[in-house]
Amino acid sequence: MYTKEIEIVNATGLHARPASQFVAKAGSFRSRIQIRRVGDEKWYNAKAIVMLMTLGLAQGERAEISAQGEDEQEAVEALAALVADLKE
């Protein structure tokens, strides 16, 4: 398992278009990928748009991305980089 903490920098958070980009990128990996707000116990499936929208991460919030599988590190690092580049 590989986990990394990130900060949401996009002004609209992970909503609508940014969330769909995140889910599309997550879906390109074989690993099981989850995301949660830092401090929360509940993890959400990062490959499901409805789950990501339910999480409702806003600008400035911190989250953890976790993956388990053959490409776990690559998946987490790619998603962390995507979130860092989402600046609508």
Domains along the sequence of the chain with CATH: 2-85 (3.30.1340.10)
Say if residue 78's pLDDT is above 80: yes
Does residue 19 have a pLDDT over 90? yes
CB 79 within 8 A of CB 26: yes
Of the residues 2, 4, 15, 45, only one is catalytic, namely 15
Residue 12: CB atoms within 10 A of its CB come to 14
pLDDT at 87 over 80: no
pLDDT at residue 21 tops 70: yes
pTM here is 0.94
Q: Average pLDDT of 12-39?
A: 95
Annotation marks residue 15 as catalytic: yes
What's the pLDDT score for residue 51? 93
DSSP readout, 13-41? -S-HHHHHHHHHHHHTSSSEEEEEETT--
